[in-house]
Chain A
Amino acid sequence: MRNGTKLLMLAVMALACTACLMASGANAASLGPTDSGAQAAQVMFPVSNQPNPTAAGMKPVVFNHLIHEKAVEDCTTCHHTGDPQSCTTCHTVEGSGNGNFVTLERAMHATNIAKRAENTPQSCVSCHEQQFARRECAGCHSIVKAERGNDWCAVCHNVSPTPKQMQDGCAGKMSAEENLKLAEATIAAHQPAQPISPMSGPLKLRIGALADKYQPNLFTHRRHVASLWDAIKDDKLAQAFHSKPETLCAACHHRSPLSATPPKCGSCHSTTLDPANPQRPTLKAAYHLQCMGCHEGMKVERPRKTDCATCHKPAQ
């Protein structure tokens, strides 16, 4: 019966949208039509039954339905109940009985979701985190953790509504047309960051601070950056979250402020154990962990981890 309802609803919505498009085609043209017939983009307000919810201080989120529906298998990936209704119908700021009192914040951000017998729901964040396992992402994301600072929040929380719009939105009274208009305006205003070109970095680097039993390593910096960049240049998720030109650099040049001229590894990693920071790898281990961690994540089979001479020739 549920599937029947779903199909019926979809059909009704498709019909409604087609009618809508035929009536005023110019309105939705900026994003293009969705396969499902759902609204191409929408602003998600912190819907609450209280007039002024605590979350109202946060910028609402714009959700690009068009991009996301292309990235998932079917609607139930997000619409986990099978009903293609808005998240905030059940998951309000305070939580409601319909949504098993799972609050909107948990529904969007939770990463520790208990497994269900079938169709375990995903939050935005948990689904995005799973993408780290993709080969082109796993290299960097297995060795560094994305910093969850303001920039990270602002990737999604980037809508600036008027107070009136905010009030309507929180109360769930905003009309679909107005919502779509606001969403499209936000998306249109967003300029993705242009990453630093691999060409602006050095071509090759001589890593020789530790040369002892082995000769210095000649690290092909440009080739490495270019291959990383190549793998993700068409990836919408990466484009959205690599929100600064130097974000990609931070995979290796981690834990320092983003910069086109980051500090050297040896600035923090000493050659011998630092008693004050016993958890910090020594320089040699830092290189090895970083190189091998990324290679392993990206499933680079060669060289094997114990083929020392492939990267640095033994000293004469």
Chain B
Amino acid sequence: MNRRKFLTILGSAGVASSLGTTLTATKAEAGAHVFPNYDESYGVLHDTTRCIGCRRCEEGCNKANDLPKPDKPFSDLSVTSQRRRTSADAWTVVNKYVVDGKPVFRKLQCFHCNDPACASACFAKCFSKLPNGVVTYEGSQCVGCRYCMIACPFYVPGFEYDEALDPLVQKCTFCEHRLVEGKLPGCVEACPMDALTFGRRSDLIRIARARINENPGKYVNYIYGEEDAGGTAWMVLAPAKDGKGSPLPQNPIDAGHTLEQMDLNTHLGNRPMGELTYGALGAVPMIVAFWPVLFGGAYAITKRREAMAKQAQDAVVKEAHEDVVAAVDAAVRKLEETEGPGAAERARRAMTEALKAREAEAAHAKHGEDS
């Protein structure tokens, strides 16, 4: 059990707050909805104008992470022209894209978002964004629901579908095990062209801007990942549409044309993907609080209406009953005057019996209807 998991367990047990003074990490985790945006996190700048599609990064990744050997060797460069994606066995792949007729290579891997959609989507807290920039995955608590794969806007996480007992989600780990040893990620170390530049994210943005400015006409004026999906630790520089082209500083909007051809989605917006769900999640407490009041009120109104109806009905019945009794009484009295007390007594008895019989019948009918 690592420290992070330990903290999570503490947190769920509700004792983390009392330890907050000693364990500063809990502070950052306390805000449930917003991940801290680590300025000084590490990142990698991928300059696609330098990439030659040699697949050394794929090989480096495979070695550094002890991944299974691929069917085709890494020296087979023809696979780059297929449309490949990252999977459980290949955490990074290089694809060739034809941009305005010219081939451009781009490396695909986890972008290590500043505020990752996968972490926001995971309901068992498997993913964490660490201060050093890494988005980690803790397989030991993964339920295997794969919502992270739905949520990832970059189609990165892969799943071990053929694993029966312990299938896990797999993705680039930023070679965290190498970072802590002071080594570069496997792919970055393997790149013979420095198409991958490792550094602090803020430095990388400065470097990227400098390259765009110093080489007018070489790059599109856009750093993919600087703002996209709330910002990512891995960023991409793309070649300008016309290599020799105009020395004019290009409008970032023009970059979309190039980036789309490289399968980089420019419609993700500049806010973390997870925020799209926060409105819906924020309504939960409101519904929990308000619905019982609403439906309780409706129930009370219904009950009150039933009671009122019953009261009105009883009053009418009572009145009718009294009317009948008074009429009978008057008739019997008249009878007594004309026919004598004996006849009146007989009539009274007969009337009472008849009324009782009717009441009993009515009560029976009413009961039948209600049940």
A-contact 0/1 string along B178-204, CB 8 Å cutoff: 000000100000011110011110011
What chain A residues lie within 8 Å of B207 (beta carbons)? Answer: 278-279
Of B184, B192, B204, which one neighbours A285 at CB under 8 angstroms?
B192
Chain B residue with the shortest CB-CB distance to A269: B194
Question: A157 on the interface (CB 8 Å rule)?
Answer: no
Question: A231 on the interface (CB 8 Å rule)?
Answer: no
CB distance from A207 to the nearest CB of B (A): 14
A281 to B191 Cα, complex, angstroms: 11
What chain A residues lie within 8 Å of B203 (beta carbons)? Answer: 278-279
Contact: A306 with B77, CB < 8 Å? yes
CB distance from B186 to the nearest CB of A (A): 14
Contact: B247 with A129, CB < 8 Å? yes
Question: A126 on the interface (CB 8 Å rule)?
Answer: yes
Contact: B194 with A289, CB < 8 Å? yes
What chain A residues lie within 8 Å of B249 (beta carbons)? Answer: 112
What chain B residues lie within 8 Å of A285 (beta carbons)? Answer: 50, 191-194
Contact: B193 with A289, CB < 8 Å? yes
CB distance from A171 to the nearest CB of B (A): 34
What chain A residues lie within 8 Å of B52 (beta carbons)? Answer: 292, 305-306
What chain B residues lie within 8 Å of A273 (beta carbons)? Answer: 184, 198
A282 to B188 Cα, complex, angstroms: 11
Question: A103 on the interface (CB 8 Å rule)?
Answer: no
A-contact 0/1 string along B236-280, CB 8 Å cutoff: 000000001011110000000000000000000000000000000
A305 to B244 Cα, complex, angstroms: 20
A292 to B49 Cα, complex, angstroms: 12
What chain B residues lie within 8 Å of A112 (beta carbons)? Answer: 247-249
Within 8 A of B (CB), among A264-311: 273, 275, 278-279, 281-282, 284-286, 288-289, 292, 305-306, 308
| Chain B binding surface SS class | loop
What chain B residues lie within 8 Å of A158 (beta carbons)? Answer: none
Question: A145 on the interface (CB 8 Å rule)?
Answer: yes
Contact: B194 with A306, CB < 8 Å? no
Number of contacts between A and B (CB, 8 Å)?
A: 54
What chain B residues lie within 8 Å of A126 (beta carbons)? Answer: 247
A288 to B50 Cα, complex, angstroms: 10
Question: A111 on the interface (CB 8 Å rule)?
Answer: yes
What chain B residues lie within 8 Å of A279 (beta carbons)? Answer: 197, 203, 207, 210-211
Within 8 A of A (CB), among B293-339: none
Of B184, B192, B204, B211, which one neighbours A288 at CB under 8 angstroms?
B192
What chain A residues lie within 8 Å of B214 (beta carbons)? Answer: 145
Among A278, A289, A308: residue with most chain B CB under 10 A: A278
A115 to B246 Cα, complex, angstroms: 10
Chain B residue with the shortest CB-CB distance to A275: B199
A-contact 0/1 string along B198-221, CB 8 Å cutoff: 111001100100110011100000
CB distance from B106 to the nearest CB of A (A): 15
Chain B residue with the shortest CB-CB distance to A134: B244
CB distance from B92 to the nearest CB of A (A): 17
Contact: B50 with A289, CB < 8 Å? yes
A132 to B52 Cα, complex, angstroms: 23
B-contact 0/1 string along A112-128, CB 8 Å cutoff: 11110000000000100
What chain B residues lie within 8 Å of A129 (beta carbons)? Answer: 247
Question: B53 on the interface (CB 8 Å rule)?
Answer: yes
B-contact 0/1 string along A153-172, CB 8 Å cutoff: 00000000000000000000
CB distance from B118 to the nearest CB of A (A): 28
Question: A133 on the interface (CB 8 Å rule)?
Answer: yes
Question: B54 on the interface (CB 8 Å rule)?
Answer: yes
A-contact 0/1 string along B36-73, CB 8 Å cutoff: 00000000000000101110000000000000000000
Within 8 A of B (CB), among A237-256: none
The answer to whether A278 and B247 touch (CB under 8 A), given A285-B192, A306-B53, is no
Chain B residue with the shortest CB-CB distance to A120: B246
CB distance from A160 to the nearest CB of B (A): 32
Contact: A281 with B247, CB < 8 Å? no
Of A114, A132, A306, which one neighbours B54 at CB under 8 angstroms?
A306
CB distance from A104 to the nearest CB of B (A): 20
What chain A residues lie within 8 Å of B215 (beta carbons)? Answer: 145
Within 8 A of B (CB), among A50-103: none
What chain B residues lie within 8 Å of A308 (beta carbons)? Answer: 54
CB distance from A297 to the nearest CB of B (A): 10
A284 to B193 Cα, complex, angstroms: 7
A106 to B179 Cα, complex, angstroms: 50
CB distance from B295 to the nearest CB of A (A): 61
What chain B residues lie within 8 Å of A288 (beta carbons)? Answer: 192-193
CB distance from B198 to the nearest CB of A (A): 6
What chain A residues lie within 8 Å of B247 (beta carbons)? Answer: 111-112, 126, 129
What chain A residues lie within 8 Å of B50 (beta carbons)? Answer: 285, 289
Of B53, B192, B197, which one neighbours A278 at CB under 8 angstroms?
B197
Among B54, B194, B200: residue with most chain A CB under 10 A: B194
Residues of A within 8 A of B (CB): 111-115, 126, 129, 132-133, 138, 145, 273, 275, 278-279, 281-282, 284-286, 288-289, 292, 305-306, 308
8 closest residue pairs by CB, A with B: A285-B194, A278-B199, A305-B52, A133-B244, A281-B194, A279-B207, A111-B247, A306-B54
Residues of B within 8 A of A (CB): 50, 52-54, 77, 184, 191-194, 197-200, 203-204, 207, 210-211, 214-216, 244, 246-249
Q: What are 5 A-to-B residue pairs whose CB atoms are below 8 Å?
A: A112-B248, A275-B199, A281-B194, A285-B193, A292-B193
